C-alpha cells in the first residue's frame, strides 16, 4: 500500500514521532539482523511525511522481550505515557506484533491514540485510530497477531506434551542424575555423589524427619553435592552443607525413585500480572511414568517418604499431622486423638515447684484438645487429660507386647548402628580420596608448567597449597570421627546392647534411651490412641495392622491429693475451723510445729486446699449453720433499716462474728428477747449508758 500524507496534519507534525523497535528474544536480536534494519528504516518514512530528524524518538530498550504483555516492557510503557500526554504525533512500528501481542495492550493503545489524535504507521500504511474504518482494520490486525502467537505456542506446547506423555522430554535433572550421550537418564558417574545421596535416604528412613536428617549431616560434617545449571560454575560438582529446603526438595522429587513426571505444578497469573506456582495433586499430573530410569530408591519407598512428610506437617488451618517424634516426655505426642471431636490432641507440660524446697520440681504432662477453644473463642477446652498415669499404662503395655521379640529387636538395632557407622565412614573415605586426587592433580599441573612463566607458576603453586590444606583438614577430621565411631562399636557397647536385650523393660527404662527413640518405637507398633474422659479415662489403642485394645483408667488425683496429709492434721484443722480464720489456723499450726505431708510449714493456700479436697466446711458455713445471719437478713427480721442495725452494732447491742479479712465479711447473732427489750427501752428513754456487755 502506498503511503499517503492526507491524514498527516500540521498538528501532527508539531509533535514528535515515536519509532518502537522490538525483537522477542536475544537470539533473534543476534541472528535476525535484517528485521532490525527494516524497523530502523521506518525512520525515513517519518522524514518523508514531514517530521524532522530531531523530532524522531527511537525506543529500542525492549529488545529481547516478548510482546505477550507489557508488565516488564519499560519502553512500551514509556511510549503509552508519551501518547497519553499528547506528545506523540505518530507511533511507528514495522507491524502490529512489534507493538503488542495481546489485544488488551493493543486496544488500550488504540483508545489512547484516538483520544489524543495520534497516528499509527506500519510497513503497509498510515492509520488514524479516530476513524472507524482504520480502527476496525487495526483491531483485526491486533487480533490476528495475538492468534498467531497462540498458534505458535500451541504447536510448541503440543510437541512438548506428546514427548512428556511418552517420557522422552528432556528436562533438567536433580543432583545425582545426569544424561548420557544417548540422552538417557543415569546415575551420576561419581561414586561419591551416589553414595552420599543413598546415605541421605537411609538417614531419613531411620529418623523420619527432614530436619533431623539435616542436623545429623551437620553433626557428622557430611557435605552434600550440587551441580549449578547456570553461572560460572555451570555443571561443576560443588560440595556444601545440606539445607532443610534442599532436603525437602529431594524427598518430594519422584525422579530419585526412577519416575519420569511432568506437569506437577500449574502457574496462575494474578491481577498484577505476576505468576504464582501451585502444586497439583498427583492424579492431575500430565505424566507419571514409573521405572523410566534407574533410581536411588523404589517407588514404594518414595510413597512412604511422602506419607511421613505429610504426617510431620504442623498444620493449624486444617487437619493436624502426627509430626515427627520430638523432645519431651509425652509418649503419645502426635498420636493422641480426642474421643469427642476426633482432632489430634496437643501436648502441654507444667512443673510444680515447691515453695519451701525450690530445688525439687515435679513435671506433669497434659493432653489437650483446644482447637475449638482457640478458633471459636470458647471458654472451655474440649478435653484436658493428665498424661503421667496414662503414659505409664501405655509404657507397660508396650513392654508386655515387645518382650517376646526383644532379642531380635536388639540385634537389628546393633546391625543398624554398625551399618550407619560403616556408611558414614565410607563417605568420609571417598571425600579423603577425592581430596588426595586434587592434591596430586594440582601437583602435576605445577610440575608441568614452564618455570619461566612466573604468573602461571605462582597461580598453580597457590592451588597446590590450597589443595594440601583441604586434604590436611579432611584427614584430621577423618581421624577424629573414626575415634568416635570406634567408641560406638567397641566390645563393651555391643555387649551392653545385647545384655539389655534380654530384658526389654530395662531397655525401655534405661536412662540412655532418649524419649524421642521411645516415641519412634511406639509408632512402629501403634497407629493412634483415642482418649475420652468421663467418670474415667477410656483409652482405645489402634495398632498397626488394625488390631485394637481398650484400657479404662481412673481419673488421676490432683497433685495435692497425691500427697498424703496426716489424719491428725485434717482433724485438727476441722476443729479449728469452728472458731478461727484460715490465717489464724496457720499461725496456731506452725506454733505447734506441725508439718504438711511434704514436711513443709503451713500456708493459707494449704488450709484452703485441705478444706477443698477433704470437704471441710468453712468458718462462714459453720456460723450460718449455727443461725448466724447477714446484715440484710437480720434487718429484715427485725424490721429496721441497715443504718439502725449498724448503729446498734456500734453500741454493742448486737454481737458479730468475722469470717474473713474484710470489714464487711461478718455475720450477726440474732438478739435474744431480753436484748430486744433493752434496745427498745434504750430507744425510748435515749439512755446511752444502758448498753449490754458483749
Task: For residue 501, give the C-alpha cell.
Answer: 536385650
Nearest to 251 by CA among 307, 292, 289, 294: 307
Q: What is the DSSP string of 202-222?
A: HHHHHH--HHHHHHHHHHTT-
Cα dist. 327→57, 60, 211 in Å?
A: 69, 62, 13
Q: 18 near 90, Cβ under 8 Å? A: yes
**What are 605's three cell numbers?**
493456700
- For the record, the C-alpha cell of 652 comes out as 454493742
Question: Rounded to the nearest 5 degrees, what angle is found at the Cα of 362, between the Cα atoms of 608 and 571?
Answer: 30
Q: Provide the β-strand partners of residue 550.
A: 540
**DSSP code per residue over 51-83:** --GGGEEEE-TTTT--SS-SSS-HHHHHHHHHH
Residue in this structure with the C-alpha cell 522430554, named with its chain if needed: 169
Residue 24 a catalytic site member: yes
CA gap 427, 420 in Å, rounded: 11
In this structure, what C-alpha cell is assigned to residue 371?
A: 482447637
**5 vs 121: CA distance, rounded Å:** 11
Partners of 350 in beta bridges: 364
Strands 336-338 and 526-533, by their bridges, are parallel
Place of cell 479449728: 576
Of the listed 24, 292, 442, 467, which one is catalytic? 24
H-helix segments, 502-546: 504-509, 515-525
User: What letter does residue 281 receive in the DSSP assignment?
Assistant: -
Nearest Cα neighbor of 604 from 360, 596, 667 is: 596
Task: Enumerate the β-bridge partners of residue 91.
Answer: 18, 120
**Cα–Cα distances in Å, from 318 out to 313, 314, 344?**
10, 9, 11
State the Cα–Cα distance between residues 312 and 320, nearest whole angstrom.
9
Residue positions counted in the chain: 694
Task: Work out the number of other CB atoms within 10 angstroms of the CB of residue 375.
Answer: 10
Q: At 20, which helix (H) or strand (E)?
A: strand 16-20
d(CA 640, CA 648): 11
Catalytic residues, by residue number, are 24
Amino acid at each position: 500500500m502506498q503511503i499517503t500524507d492526507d491524514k498527516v496534519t500540521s498538528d501532527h507534525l508539531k509533535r514528535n514521532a515515536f519509532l518502537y523497535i522490538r525483537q522477542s528474544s536475544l537470539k533473534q536480536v543476534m541472528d535476525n539482523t535484517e528485521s532490525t534494519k527494516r524497523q530502523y528504516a521506518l525512520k525515513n518514512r517519518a522524514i518523508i511525511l514531514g517530521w524532522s530528524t530531531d523530532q524522531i524518538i527511537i525506543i529500542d530498550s525492549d529488545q529481547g522481550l516478548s510482546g505477550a504483555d507489557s508488565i516488564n516492557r519499560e519502553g512500551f510503557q514509556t511510549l503509552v505515557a508519551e501518547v497519553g500526554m499528547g506528545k506523540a504525533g505518530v507511533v511507528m512500528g514495522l507491524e502490529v506484533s512489534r507493538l503488542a501481542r495481546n489485544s488488551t495492550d493493543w486496544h488500550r493503545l488504540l483508545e489512547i491514540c484516538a483520544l489524543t489524535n495520534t497516528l499509527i504507521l506500519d510497513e503497509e500504511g498510515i492509520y488514524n485510530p479516530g476513524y472507524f474504518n482504520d480502527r476496525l482494520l487495526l483491531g483485526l490486525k491486533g487480533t490476528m497477531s495475538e492468534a498467531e502467537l497462540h498458534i505458535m505456542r500451541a504447536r510448541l506446547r503440543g510437541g512438548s506434551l506428546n514427548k512428556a506423555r511418552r517420557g522422552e522430554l528432556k528436562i533438567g535433572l536433580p543432583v545425582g542424575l545426569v544424561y548420557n550421550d544417548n540422552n538417557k537418564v543415569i546415575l551420576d558417574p561419581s561414586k561419591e555423589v551416589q553414595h552420599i545421596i543413598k546415605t541421605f535416604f537411609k538417614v531419613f528412613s531411620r529418623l523420619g524427619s527432614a530436619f533431623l536428617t539435616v542436623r545429623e549431616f551437620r553433626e557428622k560434617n557430611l557435605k552434600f553435592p550440587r551441580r549449578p545449571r547456570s553461572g560460572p560454575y555451570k555443571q561443576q560438582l560443588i560440595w556444601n552443607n545440606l539445607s532443610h529446603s534442599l532436603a525437602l526438595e529431594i524427598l518430594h522429587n519422584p525422579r530419585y525413585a526412577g519416575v519420569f513426571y511432568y506437569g506437577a505444578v500449574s502457574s496462575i497469573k494474578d491481577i498484577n500480572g505476576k505468576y504464582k506456582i501451585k502444586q497439583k495433586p498427583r492424579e492431575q499430573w500430565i505424566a507419571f511414568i514409573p521405572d523410566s530410569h534407574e533410581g536411588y530408591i523404589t517407588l514404594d519407598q518414595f510413597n512412604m517418604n511422602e506419607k511421613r512428610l505429610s504426617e510431620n506437617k504442623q498444620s493449624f488451618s486444617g487437619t493436624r499431622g502426627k509430626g515427627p517424634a520430638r523432645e519431651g516426655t509425652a509418649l503419645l505426642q502426635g498420636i493422641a486423638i480426642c474421643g469427642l471431636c476426633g482432632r489430634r490432641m496437643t501436648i502441654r507440660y507444667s512443673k510444680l515447684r515447691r515453695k519451701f524446697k525450690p530445688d525439687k520440681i515435679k513435671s506433669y504432662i497434659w493432653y489437650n484438645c483446644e482447637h475449638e477453644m482457640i478458633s471459636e473463642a470458647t471458654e472451655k477446652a474440649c478435653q484436658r487429660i493428665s498424661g503421667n498415669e496414662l503414659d505409664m499404662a501405655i509404657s507397660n503395655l508396650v513392654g508386655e507386647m515387645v518382650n517376646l521379640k526383644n532379642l531380635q529387636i536388639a540385634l537389628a538395632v546393633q546391625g543398624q548402628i554398625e551399618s550407619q557407622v560403616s556408611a558414614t565412614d565410607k563417605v568420609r573415605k571417598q571425600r579423603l580420596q577425592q581430596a588426595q586426587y586434587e592434591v596430586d592433580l594440582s601437583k602435576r599441573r605445577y610440575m608441568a608448567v614452564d618455570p619461566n612463566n612466573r604468573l602461571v607458576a605462582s597461580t598453580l603453586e597457590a592451588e597446590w597449597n590450597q589443595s594440601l590444606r583441604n586434604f590436611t583438614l579432611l584427614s584430621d577430621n577423618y581421624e577424629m570421627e573414626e575415634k568416635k565411631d570406634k567408641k560406638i562399636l567397641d566390645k563393651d557397647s555391643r555387649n551392653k546392647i545385647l545384655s539389655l536385650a534380654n530384658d526389654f523393660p530395662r531397655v525401655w527404662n534405661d536412662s540412655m534411651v532418649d524419649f524421642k527413640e521411645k516415641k519412634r518405637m511406639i509408632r512402629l507398633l501403634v497407629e493412634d490412641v483415642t482418649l475420652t474422659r468421663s467418670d474415667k479415662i477410656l483409652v482405645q489403642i489402634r495398632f498397626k495392622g488394625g488390631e485394637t485394645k481398650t484400657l479404662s483408667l481412673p481419673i488421676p488425683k490432683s497433685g495435692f491429693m497425691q500427697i498424703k496429709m496426716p489424719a491428725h492434721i485434717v482433724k485438727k484443722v476441722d476443729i479449728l475451723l469452728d472458731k478461727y480464720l484460715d490465717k489464724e489456723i496457720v499461725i496456731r499450726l506452725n506454733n505447734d510445729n506441725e508439718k504438711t505431708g511434704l514436711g513443709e510449714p503451713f500456708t493459707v493456700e494449704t488450709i484452703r486446699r485441705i478444706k477443698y479436697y477433704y470437704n471441710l466446711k468453712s468458718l462462714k458455713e459453720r456460723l450460718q449453720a449455727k443461725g448466724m445471719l447477714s446484715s440484710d437478713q437480720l434487718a429484715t427480721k427485725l424490721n429496721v433499716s441497715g443504718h439502725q442495725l449498724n448503729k446498734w452494732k456500734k453500741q454493742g447491742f448486737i454481737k458479730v462474728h468475722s469470717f474473713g479479712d474484710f470489714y464487711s465479711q461478718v455475720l450477726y447473732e440474732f438478739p435474744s428477747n431480753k436484748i430486744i427489750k433493752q434496745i427498745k427501752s434504750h430507744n425510748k428513754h435515749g439512755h446511752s449508758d444502758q448498753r449490754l456487755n458483749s
